[in-house]
Amino acid sequence: MRTRRSVAALAAAIAFATTGTAHAFAERPPAGQVLDVSREIALPPGVARPCLAVRTAEASILLDRSALERAAAATPGRWTNEREREALIRGNRSKALLALAGGPADATGCVPVEAARLAGAAHLVVELLEAGDASVVAHGAAKPDRGVTVRYLGMRSGPAVGRGEIRFLRGDPRRTFFIVEWWAS
């Protein structure tokens, strides 16, 4: 019985790790290059409750807590292929994000998490935004944004020195509300 549950949990983790993520990575430009590329992302009008609200200075990024809990519960203990490795990373990032959630729901109806405390879990938030699996609501707004812009910036000052970041922009005019370091060399 335990083996069946373990296999089912691993399958669920792999499914969660590859749902939307492969598509998001397919549209992400290659890292390590000088570039400035943007694209629009359509977002859902909301997320299922219970949820987490990753709070930035200008907006909250709403995430489905149940999906994060499923990924965390199904984290494989070890990996033997790339899909399992991605499931392990995503499950560990889900656990880290859930560990930051505490307290009562905020005005969005979700449990708040400060974006400044995300550390490596910020990359999971990026993946969910890129895949259109999160909502964004400005502080004080009644409805979530219909979409955001993702901007990939790569800068180099030498053959082996550079960095890249992923920026998310919202509003009219577009303003940055969430930035994550993408690569560094």
- pLDDT-based confidence at residue 12 (cuts at 50, 70, 90): very low
For residues 174 and 68, what is the distance between their CA atoms, to the nearest angstrom? 29
Question: In 7-124, where do the E strands start and end?
Answer: 35-42, 51-55, 59-64, 111-114
In the chain, the number of structural domains is 1
Q: Any bridge partners for residue 138, and if so which?
A: 59
Range of the domain at 158: 2-184
pLDDT of residue 24: 55
Tokens 């990024």 belong to residue: 61
The CA-atom distances, in angstroms, between 68 and each of 125, 133, 155 are 11, 11, 33
What lies within 8 Å, CB to CB, of 182 at 6+ separation is: 31, 152, 154, 163, 164, 165, 166
pLDDT of residue 111: 97
The CA-atom distances, in angstroms, between 140 and each of 16, 127, 129, 136, 173 are 31, 25, 21, 12, 18
For residues 85 and 88, what is the distance between their CA atoms, to the nearest angstrom? 5
φ and ψ at residue 45, rounded to 5 degrees: -75, 0
For residues 73 and 62, what is the distance between their CA atoms, to the nearest angstrom? 20
pLDDT of residue 176: 97
Which contacts (CB < 8 Å, 24+ apart) does range 172-175 have?
174/149, 175/58
102-141, pLDDT tens digit by residue?
Answer: 889 998 899 999 999 999 999 999 999 999 999 999 999 9
76-109, pLDDT tens digit by residue?
Answer: 888 999 999 999 999 999 999 999 998 899 988 9
